[in-house]
Copies of this chain bind each other. A is one copy, B any other.
């Protein structure tokens, strides 16, 4: 019974995800679903991206959090429109929540819609939101064993951002191991080494983003 109900929930989600996907395709919008542990730097990375690309891309953001709207406030301060979804305890965003947020955001006028999922490296990866690409963040302080411990999440990534590389000097982190372990479950993902705080490495990420959004410079 558990399995069949979960299948029903997933299939309802999938139906709505297809609608979102069609909307993004019809409007030429690149939609990114950004997933990571709590505190990997999703909001900081998105904020810096908005600021650095403000003359090239119109970005709208859908923020998922269990509580608070502080992330949406930070995104607005960075210069983009943002809609906050408070999940009130739920551990991931659903395609239906994103569908309503797309309307609230007025997404049809955007080049890129970034969905910042609930901070959780497990559950969000099971729910398609209709995104064009999935972006996983892994921050250096989380440790170099995360790709082997959460293989399902990394397997579904189109891009992986290894964030907080400014902390390499202070933390024991085997970068070669991480790169090799990601390759085992996902040979095709683009991997970027960045610090959203210092800006190091962000240019390569921006190039990928602009190319995906058909705004290659």
Contacts and interface: CB of A to CB of B under 8 A. Distances in A.
A146 B39 contact: yes
A66 B150 contact: yes
A167 B151 contact: no
Contacts of A139: 39, 141
Interface stretch (A24-32, A120-128, A209-217): A120-128
Interface stretch (A1-9, A45-53, A103-111): A1-9
Q: How large is the interface on A (under 10, 10 to 19, 20 to 34, 35 or more residues)?
A: 35 or more
Contact of A141 (B118, B141, B152): B141
B142 A39 contact: yes
Interface in A137-176: 139, 141-143, 145-146, 148-152, 164, 167, 170-171
A85 to B, nearest CB: 13
Nearest to A171: B167
A67 interface: yes
Given A38-B150, A66-B150, A70-B148, 13 more contacts: A37-B38, A37-B39, A38-B146, A65-B149, A66-B149, A66-B151, A70-B145, A91-B91, A119-B150, A120-B123, A122-B123, A167-B167, A167-B170
